[in-house]
Every structure is written in structure tokens, then in C-alpha cells.
Amino acid sequence: MNDLAGKHIVLGLTGGIACYKAAELCRALVKEGATVQVVMTEAAAQFITPVTMQALSNRPVYTSQWDGREANNMAHINLSREADAILIAPCSADFMAKLLHGGADELLSLMCLARPMDKVPLLIAPAMNREMWAHPATRRNVAQLQADGCTVFEVGSGEQACGETGDGRMLEAQELIQDVVAFFQPKVLSSQHVLITAGPTYEAIDPVRGITNLSSGKMGFAIARAAQEAGAEVTLVAGPVALSTPRGVRRVDVKSASNMLAACVEYARAASIFVAAAAVADWRPAAPAEHKLKKDGSGRTPALEFVENPDILATLAQSPRAQSGDLYCVGFAAESQDLLDNATAKRIRKGVPLLVGNIGPATFGQDDNALLLVDTTGATEIPRNSKLALARQLVAEIARRIEH
């Protein structure tokens, strides 16, 4: 999926050691389908060559306002008018100050000043020493740039080229790609707080064994990313999975169904939308053994007694906030057969306005899926696609429903 297909990005580089990351960023932008025009300051060319950036972008690099390739000698006008966005990465402390005051003494700053502000957004990826980032002057500059309509991305934290450790590193290329992709997504859930569950639960039999299922959590994590892209504040309650947390999402790790219920009840107090995408175990051992159960050679199996786990979706759907309309609940049904009948029955039984059905064995662990949306009016199929693409469609459907 090329999330930036059709987008033309002007990638500006300013002076700083983080310029080495701009090479990977440029390549990643192109891989996502964008065309990239690189513009470099004289200081940036001290850290990485224009030849390198030309090879990665497949376009001539601009370094001077007086570039003779422009017939009208107005590179600052021509380049800015072609762009869907200008991304400055890395953006030094000096260049941020220049942008703030409208400085325009070389091509990149002149182009930023001359851009049509209502059509060409300015995205900034800061990169500097931790003391420079924490300095009151930089903090004021960041706040004013944001007030002027610029999007200032977060900085990373860790070891810096100077040998110090702290905030101020430019984000890694894949982090910036996610931020740029998210920037272009419609903000259909702005002002919403979305609570999402994802992955399996684990119910202990003894200290080393337990009952779980094949859910990878990928669908729930994709929904969390899509909701964050759509402008929502997102809390993700995750069972035991090996997945990276989507950018900008608050993650709460849990293990059992009881753990998940407690977390959901707590975070649902501030949520406006609840999406129960986790594959929660229906039962758990009534009395987990204190020590590992061992074979004794008799051929007899341990006598395990099970009790039913709490119903997380039904609990939240029947809560006062859900009943009053302050919490919109969406359920998931992972079935192995008779998807429409089972999903329809589950929606009614749980008392939710929207139930999302899928065939579990066909999607667990996979990167793609197919969904069936079931509500009071009937059922709608969403054809097989990547889980992120489906998550974005689902988010759009939820947004449409809560507007009415």
C-alpha cells in the first residue's frame, strides 16, 4: 500500500549530523509512492552530498536560489507551488529561528516564506543537541511556529552524536514516514477518545502453562493506528503480543481477561468510542495450580474445572455511559462458520450498535483480512485488503455513524 501515492514532497535539509537520516527518509518517501524534490542549505551539504540525495530522489537537487536551471530564476516560487507539503528534516535550531522571523537569505528559507500557506503545509522534524532543544528560546520558537500553522514533529531521545544523551534527536525515517502519512489522513475522529482492545488473553493453568488463542493483535493495532491518524486520542489495551506500539498511541499491556476488563473499565471513563477487537478467552481454569502440573506415568490427565470469563464488551455496552450515548461501542466476532448468523446474534446479545465479523482461521496472524459490518439495518461486506486499509475504512464508518 503506497500511502503517499500522488503526493509531491519538497524535502529540505539543514545543517546537522542528522542529515545522514535524510537519505533513508528520502528513500522511504519514494517507496511510499511520493515524488521527492530535495532542497539543501549550504550547511547541509557539509554533512551529506547533493549527489547522494539526487541518486535517492531521482531528481536534481537544488542548493542555490540562483540555480540556472530555472528559466525565470524563481526556484523559490516554482518549487513551492508544485509541492503538497514541505518537510524540513533535519531542521536545525538556527533554521527554526530563521523560519520564525521570516528570514529568507537562501533558497530553502525563501521557499518556505514564499509558499502558499493555505495550500502547502510546512512540516518540521527538529534535530539538535539536548541543551539546545531544552533552551527557552527553542521552546518559544516551537510554540510560535505551531501557532503560525506549522506542524512540528516530536523529537527522539537517546544517545547523540556529541556524546550526550537526551531529547533532541531527529526521529528515525520510519517514524517520520508514519507521521507524514498520518498528517495527510482525514481527521474524522478529532476530539474523540478511542479505547481499543487487541490481541489474545492468556489464562493460566499453572505457572508455566495456559490457555490462549491464535490472535496476533494486528487488526486491533491497525485500528489504533488508523484512529490516531484520524485525530483521536487513543488508548490501546493489548494482550500478550509481539507488536510495536503505533505512534502517538498510549498502550496498556495486560495478560488475562480479568486484567483486560479492569483496564477497560478504568480507561472507558474518559473514552467516547470503544472498539473490542481483542480475542478474549471465554473460559479460564477455576483454580490455577500453584506449581507446574507433572505427568505421573499413570496416563491420567489433570482434572481441570473451568469458569466463564467476564464479558468485557457486554459490561461496557451496558454501562451508564454507553446507555446514555456517551460511549459508542463496537464489537468484533471471530467465527469459523456461519459468519452472518453468528455475528448478527452476537450484536443483539451484546447490545452494541455495530458488530464487526471475520473468519478467525482466515485472518489470525495474517496481514490482511475481510470484514462484515453488522448493524440494525443489515450487513455490509468490506472486501479483503490489508488490515491497515480495513482499519481506516472501519474508522471512517464509525465516524460517519457517530455524526448522526
**Catalytic positions, please?**
162
**C-alpha cell of 4?**
503517499
**Biggest CA-to-CA distance, the chain:** 92
φ, ψ of residue 363 to 5 degrees: the values are -130, -25
- The verdict on whether omega for the bond into residue 240 sits within 30 degrees of 0, i.e. cis, is no
Distance CA 107, CA 63 (A): 7
β-pairing verdict for 156-159 and 233-238: unpaired
β-pairing verdict for 35-40 and 8-13: parallel
Distance CA 79, CA 59 (A): 12
| Interior angle at CA 331, CA 328 and CA 333, nearest 5 | 170
Distance CA 132, CA 94 (A): 10
Residues present in the chain in total: 404
- Grid look-up 499453572 returns 206
